[in-house]
């Protein structure tokens, strides 16, 4: 079901919105400024294009998952395992409705539990990582 809903959410050309649907075209208020969701951001990342057209992307929280995960670290013997760390994974949408996945840094992962669907984030400090998920030409 999750893959089905994600396919619909990511392809608004094939599955257009109808009246009554909630669209991600929302605004965030930062101080006195009204900031609309950044358009063309996720597509630019997926196509490995320049994203310098925006310094602080504004994105919509589609979903959030915070949990403890086991990580692989060098330096631990086979008898000892590294302790699990708290990780917050996010599914974020831009102003075009395209989604991407992100992860909060471990130092603020616990604060990520406050995020919920519909919240709007402005990314002031972030590191962009791009890679292909599968060995397919799809971005």
DSSP labels, 74-138: TT--TT--PPPEEEEEEEEE-TTS-EEEEE--GGGTTGGGG--TT-EEE-SS-------SSSSS-
- Residue 127: the pLDDT is 84
How far apart, in Å, are the Cα atoms of 105 and each of 63, 86, 87, 90, 111?
Answer: 17, 9, 8, 11, 10
pLDDT tens per residue, range 20-41: 555 555 555 555 555 689 999 9
Q: What is the pLDDT along the chain (139 residues), one digit of tens a residue?
A: 667 766 766 666 677 666 555 555 555 555 555 568 999 999 998 888 899 999 999 999 999 998 888 776 666 555 667 778 888 999 999 988 898 988 998 888 888 889 998 889 999 988 887 665 556 555 5
- Residue 78: the pLDDT is 59
Rounded to two decimals, the pTM is: 0.66
Whole-angstrom Cα Rg for the chain: 17
């Amino acid at each position: 079901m999750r893959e089905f809903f994600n396919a619909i959410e990511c392809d608004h050309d094939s599955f257009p919105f109808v009246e009554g649907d909630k669209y991600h075209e929302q605004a965030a208020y930062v101080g006195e400024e009204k900031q609309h969701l950044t358009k063309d951001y996720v597509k630019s990342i997926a196509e490995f294009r320049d994203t310098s057209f925006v310094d602080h992307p504004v994105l919509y929280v589609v979903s959030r998952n915070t949990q403890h995960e086991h990580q692989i670290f060098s330096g631990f013997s086979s008898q000892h395992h590294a302790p699990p760390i708290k990780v917050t994974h996010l599914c974020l949408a831009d102003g075009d409705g395209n989604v991407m996945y992100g992860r909060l840094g471990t130092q603020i992962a616990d604060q990520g539990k406050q995020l919920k669907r519909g919240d709007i984030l402005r990314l002031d400090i972030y590191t962009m990582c791009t890679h292909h998920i599968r060995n397919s030409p799809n971005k």
